[in-house]
């Protein structure tokens, strides 16, 4: 899901090459929040980047990108619901 989100954002928003790592972290952060039972924390993602980004950068970009990704988030919710419905009937 994070790669799908990254692809959608890159096709709709121009991003500087120097900000791609931040963008990838935000995509991973959003996917983690939606799909994982224990999502990644912002501090852990910053540590994984060897502190090349700050927690503040990550959270600010998260808010901006969450607005861009709203349709994808709704789609994931719908697909998750459909999967539960399908597996309950078999």
pLDDT for the residue 30: 82
Average pLDDT score over the chain = 78
Q: Which CATH number fits domain 2-88: 1.10.1740.10, 3.40.50.720, 1.10.472.10, 1.20.1070.10?
A: 1.10.472.10
Distance CA 79, CA 88 (A): 14
Domains of the chain, by residue range, sit at 2-88
pTM, entire model: 0.70
d(C-alpha 10, C-alpha 21), whole Å: 12
Tens of pLDDT along 41-55?
999 999 999 999 999
């Amino acid at each position: 899901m994070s790669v799908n989100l990254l692809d959608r954002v890159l096709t709709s928003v121009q991003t500087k090459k120097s900000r791609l790592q931040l963008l990838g972290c935000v995509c991973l952060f959003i996917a983690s929040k939606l799909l994982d039972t224990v999502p990644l924390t912002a501090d852990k993602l910053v540590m994984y980047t060897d502190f090349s980004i700050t927690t503040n950068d990550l959270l600010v970009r998260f808010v901006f990108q969450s607005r861009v990704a709203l349709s994808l988030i709704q789609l994931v919710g719908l697909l998750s619901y459909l999967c539960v419905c399908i597996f309950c009937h078999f």
